[in-house]
Each structure stands twice: as C-alpha cells, then as structure tokens.
Amino acid sequence: MDPLSATLERVGDRWMLLIVDALLGGPRRFNDLSETVEGIAPNILSSRLKRLEAEGIVLARPYSQRPVRFSYELTASGRELAGALRLLADWGARSAGGEPVRHGDCGTPMEARWYCPTCSRVVADDEGDSELLYL
C-alpha cells in the first residue's frame, strides 16, 4: 500500500479529521467535542475517538472514575497531522476563492515549502523522492 493510501486508511474519514481539528486548541471532553463538531452523532464520535486513540493520534485521559469519563487530546503524531490539516484548509480556502492563511505580523498570505535541514535550504517540488510528486 502506498503512503497516501495508508494515511487515508488511518484518518481519511471526514469525522476523524474534524475531530483532530477540534482538538487543535487543546484537550476537550466528549460533550465539548460533540458541540464543536457539528452534526456528529454521539455513537460516531465515540467510535472515531476510539479509532483515533488506537492509531496513536488521540490520547484519552480519565478525569472521572464514577462514571468513567475522558478528556481527549492530540498526541505528538496528532499534532503533526494537524499541520497537514492546515494545508488542506488553506488549499480549500484558496481554491474556493476564500481567504488564505496569512502571517499574523504583516498580513502576507503564507506559503508552505519543503525544507531540508541538512542542506539548510528550501527544496523544489521536483527534487523530492515521494511518489506523490509524480502522480
């Protein structure tokens, strides 16, 4: 399975991505997530949280023992995924004629670039070795 297919298998569900987005601001309880992720049924939210936890993207921490209740937060892997979500949201805004993500200090639309820390330089799209570059 290629890397993109494997990723979509893990988190390609609309609800899962919206849950990750809702957790960007920090830990949330189930009811908070239910209110933030509009339209999600409680059983779907519960199943997606369990799956995200099994994938190592979300961490469930108990805050009550009777009844057992959890607070959910992103793991380091989940925070990395959040960066990809920001890129998707920015692409969606730009392609729909909306506002791109802007630099807070000067207001300039920001651009994502691949960077090689060994070479200390920005890498052009055609210099990468990913299969995605050649689709």
For 3-76, CATH number out of 2.160.10.10, 3.40.50.300, 1.10.3720.10, 1.10.10.10 equals 1.10.10.10
Tens-place pLDDT, residues 36-65:
999 999 999 999 999 999 999 999 999 998
- Give the residue among 11, 49, 17 at the shortest CA–CA distance from 30: 49
Question: Which of 29, 26, 22 minimizes the C-alpha distance to 71?
Answer: 29
The domain locations on the chain are 3-76
E strand map for 32-120? 58-65, 68-74, 114-116
Q: What pLDDT, in 10s, does the model give residues 21-35?
A: 999 989 999 999 999
Question: Helix H segments across the chain?
Answer: 3-11, 14-22, 30-36, 42-54, 76-95
What local confidence, expressed as pLDDT, does residue 134 receive?
A: 43
pTM: 0.77
Percentage with pLDDT > 90 across the chain: 50
